[in-house]
Homo-oligomer: A and B are copies of this chain.
Amino acid sequence: MYDGIVQDLIDEFGRLPGIGPKSAQRITFHILQTPTFDVARLSELLAEVRERVRFCEVCGNVSEQDRCSICRDPRRNATVICVVEDAKDVAAIERTREFRGLYHVLGGAISPIAGIGPDDLRITQLMQRLADGTVQEVILATNPNLEGEATATYLSRLLRTLEIAVTRLASGLPVGGDLEYADEVTLGRAFEGRRSI
Report yes or no: A22 in contact with B52, Cβ–Cβ below 8 A.
Answer: no
A-B contact pairs, 30 of them (CB 8 A): A1-B91, A1-B94, A2-B91, A3-B62, A3-B63, A3-B65, A3-B69, A6-B62, A6-B64, A9-B45, A9-B46, A12-B38, A12-B42, A16-B27, A16-B37, A17-B30, A19-B19, A19-B27, A25-B91, A26-B88, A29-B86, A31-B49, A31-B50, A32-B62, A39-B46, A40-B47, A42-B46, A43-B44, A43-B46, A46-B46
Q: Is the CB of B32 within 8 A of A50?
A: yes
- Copies of this chain in its oligomeric complex: 2
A170: min CB distance to chain B, Å: 23
Asked if A68 is at the interface of the complex by the 8 Å CB criterion, the answer is yes
On chain A, which size bracket covers the interface?
A: 35 or more
Report which A residues bind B (CB closer than 8 A). Answer: 1-6, 8-9, 12-13, 15-19, 22-23, 25-32, 37-50, 52-53, 62-65, 68-69, 86-88, 91, 94-95, 181
| Known contacts A3-B68, A3-B69; is-contact A29 B87 (Cβ 8 Å) | yes
